[in-house]
Amino acid sequence: MLTAVAAEVTYSNGTLALTATSLAIEPGRFTVLLGPSGAGKSTLLRSFNGLVQLTGGRIEVAGIGDISDSKRLRMHRRQTGMVFQQHHLIGRLNVLANVLTGRLAYHSQLRTLFGFSRAEKELALRAIDRVGLLNEALRRADELSGGQQQRVGIARALVQSPKTILADEPVASLDPATSEQVLSMLHGICRSDGLTAVVSLHQLEFARKFADRIVGLHAGKIVFDGPPSQLDENAVSAIYGNIVPAGARPIKRASIQNTPALGVAS
């Protein structure tokens, strides 16, 4: 269980990015933090991994405790995979080398000097295979498409053998077709591995299609919390205000087929 307890973030310029927010993330579920730009969804998500420092409240992790303690935070980060909007890959390195950086949390500084073990390289290749890029394992990251680069980011998270995946706007820079492919793949992997996922999105239609639970934010506050089936016009208005997002008309939740973990098409 990952829990925010009265978590609050005020930036140095005085901007209140997140009001006192309490939220428990249920294990094994695909939770989407939904809202427009500036709603506070990325702030909340990044606080779950200590990437944003709280100015009030705390984040607690089952079996670890309050992650404001640096030792506990390291323990939490080791078992939490992070997927970023801008991928954060090293362009001059190949796919395999980038994925292996996900193992650095398991290495001391001294051990890092001796490189990665054969077992770790095999683990990385299996993760690369799961995202459909095994044939690109020795290709430079900066030669890949945006969708392929995001798959490398997902493989890097998987090689940590995580319990939780945090994905911060993972498809914001991708075209709609590629976005759906990447989210479908991520959803399928989390389902098959029983991983807890927290994903921030601004696309309403993807939240409806993939989420088990939607947490809607507006102006740093949670204004909706429930399953996609309850996301009606009033809830959409509370989340987006005067902004009309794509897919704003209430629709039935699309059924999701079990997504194969291997061989996802580009």
pLDDT digit string (tens) for 84-114? 988 789 999 999 999 999 988 777 554 554 5
Q: How would residue 254 be classed by pLDDT, with cut points 50, 70 and 90?
A: very low
What is the mean predicted confidence (pLDDT) over 213-221?
97
pLDDT score recorded for residue 162: 96
Is the four-CA dihedral 55, 57, 59, 65 of positive or negative sign?
positive
Ordered by start, the domain boundaries in the chain are 81-162
CATH of domain 81-162: 3.40.50.300
Say which range, 42-56, 77-91, 147-161, 195-209, has the weakest mean pLDDT.
Answer: 77-91
Non-local CB neighbours of 47 within 8 Å, separated by 6+ positions: 4, 7, 9, 18, 53, 54, 59
Q: Looking at the predicted structure, is the pLDDT value of residue 261 above 70?
A: no
What is the mean predicted confidence (pLDDT) over 164-171?
96
Full-model pTM: 0.86
In this structure, are residues 59 and 7 in contact, taking their beta carbons and an 8 Å threshold? yes
Beta strands in the chain (DSSP E): 2-10, 16-25, 30-34, 56-61, 65-66, 80-83, 164-168, 196-201, 213-218, 221-226
